[in-house]
Amino acid sequence: MGKYLYFIKRSVFLWSFLLFIIIFISLKQLGSWYVSNIIEHHNKNIITELTAHGNTLKEALDKRFALLYGLKTYIEVQLNETQGNLDLNDSEIFNFAKSMHEYSSAIRNITIAQNAIQSFVYPAENNEEVLGHNLLSDPRISVVENIKKTIETKEPILDGPYELRQGGLGVVLRLAIFKDENFWGIIAIVLDLPNILLEAGILSSKSNFDITVRSMDNKIIAGSIKEKSAVQVKHRVIIFDKYVDLIAYPATNFYYDNLHWIINSIVFIIALMLSSIVYIVANRQVYLKSAIEKASFELQKESQDLKTIIQEAPNPIMIHNEDGDILMVNKVWERLTGYNYKEINTIEKWVEIAYGKKLLFVKKYIDKLYAMNKPSDQGEYNLRTNNGNIVTWQFSSAPLGIRDGKRTVISSAMDVTELKRKDELLIVQSRHAAMGEMIGMIAHQWRQPLSVISMTANNIYLDIELGEFNETKAQEYSKNIMKHTKHLSDTIDDFRNFFKPDKAISVVKLKDILEKTYVIINDSLVNNNIKINTVYESDSEVEAYPRELMQVFVNIINNAKDALSIHHNDEATINIKVYEDEKYVNTEICDNGIGIDEKILSKIFNPYFSTKNEKNGTGLGLYMSKMIIENHLHGVIEVINKDNGTCFRVRLKKIIEKLN
């Protein structure tokens, strides 16, 4: 009996303790549920009110942006009427600004900055110090960046909030103005921010919660952050490319005010919890297991779908990581290269097979891909396929993030071999188009040595007739003939080498290429009384196809020669200068002619566009020059009118920059 009672007491104790725990947990969960629901309902009302305030704030700013566009339209009309000679001291501008200022509250001032220099301000009182201020030299980096942004995008910019020079907190609405697509200046409206917030009803809100206004850079515009507050409601207001957060802090004492309601519900909760606890736990376990299995299945399916898409993609695709492992190559990659995945399952194997002697250069460039944070193009590379063919692929890559603890990249390629061959064919056609002029150059270079050889032969004949021919004269005449014969042979080699196609890219110095070019065209320049000056300030090396680069220089110098032979009053001169900057080795070729008409300056690189109709220009020379420099050598070619002449600049990346 004693043991039975002990067992019963123990059971009662255990069940009592269990019941105590159930009641305690039930009360706590019920209280939390109650508070959460009340606060959620309360927060919905707050969000509704914050949304209304946000819409009112946006409407207030939109009205001011409308005024800014009105000022822009007015300035553009005035610019057209005055043909760009707008007098900012004109009374009409003053009256227009005055009417804007009086029409809309919260406008502190209106400014016009011609060429980004503050030239007009209304009202002038207490704003004199802004006149003459260059916005592009403003010490505030954000101001300069926003000025440049509105110039580039032609879109309005909301700047601030700032502590205004006139005192108080404000924001600035700015917009760039253009005349005939050329930047003319900046117009701006400075708004009193507290006035705007007051108009939006934010500062004068009569709700039972406090509103704090915070900018996108976490600056508090109005109100204050309550760090210890357990509950806060936030609404974001998007204004162009910026936003502000409206944060509300409601009361949170609902739990204690309604505790009696929870106590009166204990009986119901006890009965409900005792019958439901097992079901809830078991059901939750089943639900969790089902959800995990479903999520796992969907993830596997998506992964398989992605692999299928990559495998069946029309372009070559490779996925690789920073440890040098190639995780995947698709079918097109294997088909075009002739290598299967097992042969190229590491970056080291791939670059050794495909790039040969260039493997170190390519491997170093691939290693740098893992540090990128956005997609980028890598340009064109020649690689060797399994059957020994050399093909050209254009690569681009994008980061895939961290996979199994390693930075992973996806690289895709496009086979541009045929396009390159077509480009090379155009280059050959361009050279052939210039062959007529080249033959003229050869004829001019041969004329003098042929005359000397003919004269020497005549002297031999006369000496024999007069009986004065001897061994000494024979040696002298032979040396003279051999000397000029060698000149004829060298001329043939120079022009033959010019017309040979380049088979491989080389490391060259621009001085060497220009000197070889000078040998080909020198006699033509001398024949046209054109002087050439060269200045070499850089000895850095670049990667180039030598003959293609010579073709570019021949095209540019021949164009300068043709222009100078028609239009020059003083001494005709071509100045060539080679210099370098941080990334590029630059070659400037300038003449002292009359320049190129600005109306056609932007067209001279177009195919079949020529300014030499009277000389039967093909219009291919400069087009091919641009294609060689930008497509083959990944450089830049530019042209401007300078000092009453034309100046071409060819920019090629230094070897060290390519490695970096």
Phi and psi dihedrals of 181, rounded to 5? 65, 10
Kindly tell me if the per-residue pLDDT of 74 is higher than 50: yes
Give 325 or 269, the one with higher predicted confidence. Answer: 325
pLDDT digits (tens, 9 = 90+) for 247-293: 776 544 444 445 445 555 564 465 446 545 544 444 455 455 556 76
Structure confidence at residue 648 as a pLDDT band (50, 70, 90): very high
How many helices (H) and strands (E) are present in the chain, helices listed first? 18, 21
For the cut 90, the answer to whether the pLDDT of residue 234 exceeds it is no
Angle subtended at Cα 349 by Cα 344 and Cα 353, rounded to the nearest 5 degrees: 90
Between 598 and 156, whose confidence is greater?
A: 156
**Would you say how long the chain is, in residues?**
660
> Percent of the chain at pLDDT above 90?
9
Q: Which two tokens stand for residue 634?
A: 């990944």
Higher pLDDT, 48 or 185: 185
Q: Lowest mean pLDDT: which of 12-21, 79-88, 300-309, 618-627?
A: 12-21
Task: Evaluate if residue 313 carries a pLDDT over 50.
Answer: yes
Q: Scan for tokens 């944060």, then name that residue.
A: 247
Q: Which of 101-105, 184-188, 347-351, 402-406 has the lowest mean pLDDT?
A: 101-105
Q: Are 322 and 370 in contact (CB under 8 A)?
A: yes
What is the pTM assigned to this prediction?
0.38
- By the 8 A CB rule, do 222 and 202 touch? yes
According to the model, what pLDDT value does residue 444 have? 53
* Alpha-helix runs per DSSP H in 434-470: 435-466
Give the pLDDT confidence score for residue 638 in this predicted structure.
92
Which of 101-105, 289-293, 347-351, 476-480 has the highest average model confidence (pLDDT)? 347-351
Residue 658 C-alpha from the chain's centroid: 18
Does the CA dihedral 443-449-450-451 come out positive or negative? positive
Q: Is the pLDDT of residue 577 over 90?
A: yes
Average pLDDT over residues 16-45: 61
pLDDT score for 249: 67
Do the beta carbons of residue 350 and residue 344 sit within 8 Å? yes
Q: By mean pLDDT, which of 77-86, 92-101, 321-330, 609-618 is the weakest?
A: 609-618
Mean pLDDT, all residues of the chain:
76
Question: Taking Cα atoms as reference points, which of 437, 625, 605, 643 lies closest to residue 525?
Answer: 437
* pLDDT of res. 651: 95
Q: What is the pLDDT of residue 253?
A: 46
Element (H, E) at 518: helix 510-527
Which whole number is the average pLDDT over 128-157? 87
Whether the upstream peptide bond of residue 316 has omega within 30° of 0, thus cis, is no
Q: What is the pLDDT of residues 463-499, one digit of tens each?
A: 677 777 777 767 776 766 775 575 556 556 555 555 5
Domains and CATH numbers, the chain: 42-264 (3.30.450.20), 313-415 (3.30.450.20), 424-659 (3.30.565.10)
Q: What percent of the chain has pLDDT over 70?
A: 71
pLDDT of residue 511: 92
Q: What is the mean pLDDT of residues 134-163?
A: 86
pLDDT range class, residue 185, cuts 50, 70, 90: very high
